Amino acid sequence: MELAGLGHSLPPPRGPEGQGGARIICANLELVNVSNELVMPTELHHRCGPSSPAWSFLSPSARGEQISIAWSCTCRCCTIRLMRVHLITAESPASRRLRQGRLIQFPQLTMPLIAALTPREHEVSHTDEIVEPVRFDAPADLVGITAPTPSALHAYDLARKFRRRGVPVVIGGPHATALPEEATRHADAVVVAEAEDMWPRVLDDARRGKLEPVYVSSRQASLAGMPAPRWDLIKGRRYGKSVTIATRGCPHRCDYCSIPLLYGPGTMRYRPIDEVVREVATSPTRAVVFWDDNIGANPRYAKELFRALTPLGKWWTSQCTANAARDEELVELAARSGCKALFLGLESISQESLEAANKAHNRVDDYRRLIAFLHRHGIAVHLGIMFGFDQDDVGIFRRTAEFLDEACVDVATVSMVVPMPGTPTFRRLSADGRILTTDWSKYDGKKHAVFEPALMSPAELEAGTEWVARRLYSPRSIVRRLAGSRAGVWWNLPRNVGYMLAGLSNAGPSWNPAEHERSSGGQIRFTNVPR
């Protein structure tokens, strides 16, 4: 058999008749898979010249019913070995229980993007634990795992099982970035912060069997030329597959937030608008999610982006700060371009709490006007609300619940303050001796208070947070809020029902601490417990 256009002889593909095909592996050649013969595009040439390559046969590897047979050029300048790279988006069992009840879900962007950045000579597979279990018997030469803090211990367990088989494991993500020394005890290598610039080096070192313990990029990754994520690797019928980013980072430095740790404090980067528009235009669904941390951080960029998106006729959602949502022209352009919902991290209805958390740019006295303004433009409002700031007393729960109802907030993610490792909040609480546990599986913000609050007990913080969530997603509240909002019931009703069902399947202690009296010994006497 000869390579078309080059004339180099190769041994014929071996394997069951009618199965598989052949894959050409070489640094400067497009990969070609064919069923019966090897074909090389004539316009592509090996960088060593047409007369020098020495092609060698690589042993076939069976995968299911297909057999892949590969050859590699063994010349010194471009010897490459095919690797099977398995990427895992790790979710602990507790995290899966919290998320699986939701009717609408969006996949994490990290691993589909890493897959897109992986050179074609490597075979890539992906497991997202929200929709499927990890197969430990799957063939793999390298495993990459990303995990947030609540799933970190679970990720370490996954790594241990693969390493026991002799498969090297690379771990990255927010938790590994905050605590790389901890992560190195459980993996062969740790990628700190962004992986884009380091991933080719990681792959090369893994291929040579010389992984380094820690990889840290010396510069921030450019977003120009970013490939579209490999959404063909995403499974699950309830997953929306049109997810992308236009920007990365946030100019603010809120004390509880881990974004500055991942992407640099107070920094923003932007994709070229024409690249964003081209990707959105070819997305497989009408609804698109921009997984940006703050899509409106730069009003000039945002307005230009929204103008460019308008002719596409897409629907989209993203998140931004209250600052951006105050810009009337920006909101009008967003609505015109198809914006159907915005996530706003308002976090608290206490201005004192916001200022103490370095989030004074949020103005509580402007919240209702801001929400009504977005509703008038047909944009649903999804709020992030947290409890447990040092200024929060037990009355914060009822005041917040009443605000959410009266302002007709479409959806809210209700949680406790979580002192994520590496953040100023964690350092302060740790220095004060108020961190109750470093069992990272409890850092979910939903069921476990992991620090000692200043003005209430941990039990009150847990129960009060659950009480607000139960009240918010009661049928009565859902009907009242959505009737007052009128900003896309088709979008908001499934999300509200999903949150309600998820809460019912993960029920915890639920009562309003303000409605309970304390005995002289400080013990809580249960009176008027909601049922």
Contact 263, 173 (CB under 8 A): no
The predicted structure's pLDDT at residue 404: 98
pTM score, two decimals? 0.82
Phi, psi of 155 (to 5 degrees): -60, -40
The predicted structure's pLDDT at residue 525: 35
Report how far residue 264's alpha carbon sits from residue 258's, in angstroms, rounded to the nearest whole number: 10
Contact 296, 325 (CB under 8 A): yes
Q: Are strands 33-34 and 21-25 parallel, antiparallel or unpaired?
A: antiparallel
What beta strand segments (E) does 250-379 contain?
Answer: 268-270, 287-290, 315-320, 339-347
Contact 40, 5 (CB under 8 A): yes
Dihedral sign of CA atoms 51, 57, 62, 65 in order: positive
- For Cα atoms 266, 270, 271, give the angle at the middle one, nearest 5 degrees: 155
Domains of the chain (ranges plus CATH)? 1-82 (no CATH), 84-216 (3.40.50.280), 242-518 (3.80.30.20)
Q: Are strands 169-172 and 84-89 parallel, antiparallel or unpaired?
A: unpaired
Phi, psi of 518 (to 5 degrees): -105, 140
- For Cα atoms 109, 112, 114, give the angle at the middle one, nearest 5 degrees: 100
The predicted structure's pLDDT at residue 44: 32
The predicted structure's pLDDT at residue 101: 57
Series of mean pLDDT values for 10-residue runs along the chain (531 residues): 36 37 39 36 36 38 35 43 92 79 70 94 93 92 97 98 98 97 98 94 96 93 92 72 91 96 93 97 91 96 99 96 93 98 97 97 96 97 98 97 98 97 98 98 95 97 95 95 89 86 72 62 37 31
Radius of gyration of the chain (CA): 26
The predicted structure's pLDDT at residue 105: 65
Report how far residue 292's alpha carbon sits from residue 247's, in angstroms, rounded to the nearest whole number: 6
Contact 367, 341 (CB under 8 A): no
Q: Are strands 214-216 and 243-244 parallel, antiparallel or unpaired?
A: unpaired
Q: Which residues contact 378 (CB under 8 A, 6 or more apart)?
A: 335, 340, 487, 488
